[in-house]
């Protein structure tokens, strides 16, 4: 690993041309103003910070609400055994070979181990991200939860809630929201569950679950996605008496559109298409949904006490005789505990940091009217972003339009506008390239007159002698 660390430093030294900081320093009330504050210290936030540095934007900082090493889902609520993406996928490395997952894995486990590897484990992925943060010396402040974004004096005023509830204010010119899948809304549990059952009877797949306490219990799982199957498998492996997975669809999805999307054309240029084409791409992708990976499916199916029930949506629940009774079109089912794998909703109003401006941000439903047969409430709920990942005002004359233009949405909710980006390993490299280019352009143009003055003031002689050196 130390040899790899030296190679990384060597590689970066060889390509450091023009990557020195060029931004004009700004202050507010005598305090430093960050050029870019990045919210989220997971893979998207780390890659964004590195990408900005590669473009000479170094007055940056990453803020994450989790303790160091627990950023993102990988060692918290993710319950898959391995990543769902192929092992050769690249992303946070931004195209530098010594920073790729393969280079890290080979340095740690050996070349042969990589050759025989199927997919990278989620624990190894977290270790890889931790290494990337350390070897690149990226500035991260952990245990900082963004509570509010305000607009004052043409700057973003960020209020963080730190450890013990203490507030901390940071000023920034630009903000990148790299808060992953939930960054565009909130995890979703149906009302017919939350309004009837006590919390001790159910958990969402995004939550910490004491699976050991489920030993010998009858478990009902709602959902057909990979996370639902991951949690079903985890319950089975911890000795659940039975696990029944129910899904609304008449059959489990089998086609994974993400594998089709993993081409440079789609990953680079979807955002340049007209609205109708982008809508149709996303309508098809969301309709297909992602199936559980084959190994995840077999991880469940190998247990004789596992069953899955297509065409079996849950209609209502109730407690009865010490159990939970679930009503479905196929009849009633009885469980001891429910695991909800119904994903998340896109709803900016549910993001505390956007509480001031959520109702002033344009959504797809505000800017685009699809053909009658191609309506989608889900797609319509996503923010309608600029070609540079920026939020746009619902009312173009809104006084907060300049504020929204300084907030870059690098979360899963950017997908209809920008395609795969910050919340996806597959699209990260392409998304970061576009994002950092746009941020750099914005900062330079805003300070264009100051950069001109810097040139006018420049007076460093390169030609310092008019006489040739004397020969020895």
Beta bridge partners of 326: 317, 333
CA pair distance 91, 89, nearest whole angstrom: 7
Secondary structure class of 363 (helix, strand, coil): strand
State which CATH number among 3.20.20.140, 1.10.3720.10, 3.50.50.60, 3.30.830.10 fits the domain covering 2-184+345-449.
3.50.50.60
pTM over 0.85? The answer is: yes
CB atoms within 10 A of CB 97: 12
Q: What is the pLDDT averaged over residues 383-401?
A: 97
Listing DSSP states for 152-192 in one string gives: ETTEEEEEEE-GGG-EEEEEEEEEEE---GGGGEEE---HH
Q: How far apart are CA 404 and CA 54, in angstroms?
A: 25
Q: Do domains 2-184+345-449 and 189-254+291-342 have the same CATH topology?
A: yes
pLDDT digits (tens, 9 = 90+) for 77-93: 999 999 998 899 889 99
The pLDDT assigned to 288 comes to 86
Q: pLDDT band at 162, cuts 50/70/90?
A: confident
pLDDT at 163 over 80: no
Q: Scan for tokens 């540079």, then name that residue.
A: 388
| CB of 214 closer than 8 Å to CB of 238 | yes
Span 115-156, pLDDT tens digits: 999 999 999 999 999 999 999 999 999 999 999 999 999 999
DSSP state of 361: B
Residues 317 and 192: beta-carbon distance below 8 Å:
yes
Cα–chain center distance at 106: 26
Task: Name the residue ranges covered by the structural domains of the chain.
Answer: 2-184+345-449, 189-254+291-342
Average pLDDT over residues 450-467: 94
- Locate 200 and state its tokens: 């001790």
Kindly state the tokens that stand for 273.
């298409």
| The listed CATH number (3.40.50.2300, 1.10.3720.10, 3.30.450.20, 3.50.50.60) that belongs to domain 189-254+291-342 | 3.50.50.60
Residues in the chain: 472
Nearest-angstrom CA–CA distance, 90 and 99: 9
pLDDT one-digit tens code per residue, 13-25? 999 999 999 999 9
pLDDT in tens, 421-430: 877 898 999 9
Radius of gyration for the chain, computed over Cα atoms and rounded to the nearest angstrom: 25
Residue 170 has pLDDT above 90, yes or no: yes
Q: Please state the separation of Cα 91 from the chain's center in Å.
A: 12
Q: Has residue 165 got a pLDDT over 80?
A: no
Residue 401 confidence (pLDDT): 97
Q: What count of other Cβ atoms lies within 10 Å of the Cβ of residue 213?
A: 10
Secondary structure (DSSP) of 203-251: EETTS---GGGGTT-EEEEE--SHHHHHHHHHHHHTT-SEEEEE-SSSS
Which helix (H) or strand (E) covers residue 261, if one does?
helix 257-261
Q: Name residue 390's beta-bridge partners.
A: 408
Distances (CA, A) of 182 to 129, 352, 357, 369, 468: 20, 12, 18, 26, 66
How does the average pLDDT of the chain come out, rounded?
A: 95
């Amino acid at each position: 690993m130390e040899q790899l660390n030296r190679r990384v430093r060597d590689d970066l030294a060889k390509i450091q041309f023009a990557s020195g900081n060029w931004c004009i320093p700004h202050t507010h009330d005598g305090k430093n103003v960050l050029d870019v504050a990045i919210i989220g210290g997971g893979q998207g936030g780390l890659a964004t910070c590195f990408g900005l540095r590669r473009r000479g934007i170094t007055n940056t900082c990453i803020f994450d609400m989790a303790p160091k090493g627990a950023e993102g889902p990988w060692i918290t609520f993710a319950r898959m055994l391995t990543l769902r993406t192929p092992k050769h996928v690249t992303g946070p490395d931004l195209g530098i070979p010594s920073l790729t997952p393969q280079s890290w894995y080979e340095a740690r486990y050996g070349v042969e181990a990589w050759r025989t590897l199927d997919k990278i484990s989620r624990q190894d992925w977290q270790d890889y991200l931790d290494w990337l943060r350390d070897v690149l010396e990226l500035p991260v402040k952990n245990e900082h939860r963004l509570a509010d974004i305000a607009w004052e004096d043409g700057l973003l005023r960020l209020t963080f809630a730190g450890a013990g509830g203490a507030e901390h204010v940071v000023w920034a010119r630009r903000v990148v929201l790299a808060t992953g899948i939930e960054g565009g809304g909130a995890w979703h549990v149906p009302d017919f569950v939350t309004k009837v059952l006590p919390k001790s009877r159910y958990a969402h797949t995004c939550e910490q679950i004491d699976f050991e306490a489920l030993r010998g219990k009858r478990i009902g799982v709602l959902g057909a996605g990979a996370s639902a199957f991951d949690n079903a498998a985890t319950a089975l492996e911890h000795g659940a008496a039975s696990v029944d997975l129910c899904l609304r669809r008449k059959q489990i999805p089998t086609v994974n559109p993400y594998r089709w999307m993993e081409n440079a054309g789609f990953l680079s240029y979807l955002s340049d298409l007209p609205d109708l084409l982008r809508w149709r791409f996303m309508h098809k992708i969301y309709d297909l949904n992602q199936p559980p990976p084959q190994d995840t499916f077999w991880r469940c199916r190998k247990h004789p006490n596992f069953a899955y029930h297509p065409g079996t949506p849950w209609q209502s629940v109730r407690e009865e005789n010490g159990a939970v009774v679930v009503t479905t079109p196929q009849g009633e089912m009885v469980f001891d505990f429910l695991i909800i794998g119904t994903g998340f909703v896109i709803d900016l109003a549910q993001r505390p940091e956007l509480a001031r401006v959520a109702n002033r941000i344009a959504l797809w439903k505000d800017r685009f009217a699809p053909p009658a047969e191609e309506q989608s409430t889900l797609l319509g709920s996503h923010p309608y972003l600029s070609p540079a990942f920026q939020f746009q005002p619902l009312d173009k004359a809104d006084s907060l339009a300049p504020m929204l233009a300084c907030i870059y949405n690098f979360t899963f909710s950017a997908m209809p506008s920008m395609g795969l980006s910050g919340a996806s390993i597959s699209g990260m490299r392409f998304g970061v390239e576009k994002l950092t280019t746009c941020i750099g352009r914005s900062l330079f143009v805003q300070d264009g007159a100051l950069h001109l003055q810097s040139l006018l003031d420049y007076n460093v002689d390169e030609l310092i002698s008019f006489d040739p050196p004397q020969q020895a």
